[in-house]
Amino acid sequence: MEVIQNILVPLDGSKNSFKALTKAIYLAKKCDSSITALYVLRVAYDNPSLIYVPQTQNELKKVEKFLNTAKSQVTKNTIGFKKKILFGHEAKKIIDFAQKQKFDLIVIGARGRGVVKQMLLGSVSNTVVHNSKVPVLIVK
pLDDT tops 80 at residue 121:
no
Tell me what pLDDT residue 112 has. Answer: 54
Tell me what pLDDT residue 128 has. Answer: 95
Residue 91 belongs to domain with CATH number: 3.40.50.620
Residue 106 forms part of a structural domain: yes
Virtual torsion, Cα 42, 126, 133, 7, nearest 10 deg? 70
Residue 1 forms part of a structural domain: no
Residue 97 forms part of a structural domain: yes
Tell me what pLDDT residue 92 has. Answer: 95
Rounded to two decimals, what is the model's pTM? Answer: 0.89
What is the total count of domains within the chain?
1
Residue 23 forms part of a structural domain: yes
**Residue with the larger pLDDT of the pair 114 and 88:** 88
Helices (H) and strands (E) counted in the chain, each on its own, are 5, 5
pLDDT tops 70 at residue 47:
no
pLDDT tops 80 at residue 53:
no
pLDDT tops 50 at residue 43:
yes
Residue 29 forms part of a structural domain: yes
From the list 116, 127, 118, the residue with the least C-alpha distance to 94 is 127
Residue 112 forms part of a structural domain: yes
Tell me what pLDDT residue 59 has. Answer: 86
Mean pLDDT of 123-130: 91
Confidence band, pLDDT 50/70/90 cuts, at residue 20: very high
**Left if phi > 0, otherwise alpha if psi is -120 to 50, otherwise beta: which for 2?**
beta
Q: Identify the helix (H) or strand (E) that includes residue 111.
A: none
CA distance 34 to 125: 21
Domain that holds residue 109: 6-139
